[in-house]
Structure 1
Amino acid sequence: MPVPEFLVELRRHVGHDLVPLVGVTGIVLDEEGRVLLHRRADDGRWCTPGGILEPGEQPAGAVVREVREETGVEVAVERLASVVAQEPHTYPNGDRVQFLDLAFRCRPVGGAPSAEGDETLEVRWFAPDELPRMHPRITRRIDDARSDRPDPYLVL
């Protein structure tokens, strides 16, 4: 995945120090309750589409952009599903980050699943009982988005 230019510039100043970032995740559910996933080009794993909030961007707009870029599907945001600070992570190059993830429940409104970009190997809809093996934080986001609870999941 290409590193956004603002982050490249920031790293010139802070090196590998811990950088807090806001991430957005789209949990896209169709009328049948299926979940849209993409298989990442960098590690081959299935996951929900998402990415980093860029300077000046609103979170809901960012998730619409990320879902479109990674899957080819146009979405409408329905609600905020969860707000969770992830554990700090160190990339192989030594860069340290900690994401505050905002996961949004979305519904498809256009486009078609496509893996045309450089970030995605494959895009598919999965029934909830046929989801591939994924990191527990991803399945938690899916569960939060599928719930009928109107308020987002928060860690206290």
Structure 2
Amino acid sequence: MTSMPSTDPRTVVVRYVTAVAEGDLATVVASFAEDATWTYPGDLPLSRVWRGRSAIIDDFLGGVGSLFAPDGAPQVTLTNCLADGDQVVAEWTAVGTAANGRRYDNLCLGIFTVRDGLITAVREYTDTQHVERSLFGGAESPEPAAPVSW
């Protein structure tokens, strides 16, 4: 007898992030409700509310892949996950090599809403300045200022 996947919100999010890390596209797709939304912050080409499973999977997540070198896809590691009811806060790292050769090493946080075993909304928080510099070729960070001596 095949068991049904758990609909517990924390389990759903852990399963989703693990599927991303393992490249399990079928599980990634199956994790989202048809009318899910993903809000990505900032003023980058990726910044907006992505509406619908197809837009999230094909356009947003699929589009991000093209920003990385062929052998530089980001390695995703779940570092923390907290749940309260249908809200789950997940923190993960993503480390890879951008198509432009720059190192991508970012800490990300998502607030997931899970209903009936499916992700219905994600609000992601990340260092968008790092995303702009590493993935979109923005200016490198300036040298840190000399410490102030009192």
Choose between structure 1 and 2 for higher RCO, CA contacts under 8 A separated by at least 6 residues. 1
* Higher Cα Rg, which structure: 2
Q: Tell me the TM-score normalized by structure 1.
A: 0.28
**Alignment TM-score, normalising by the size of structure 2:** 0.29
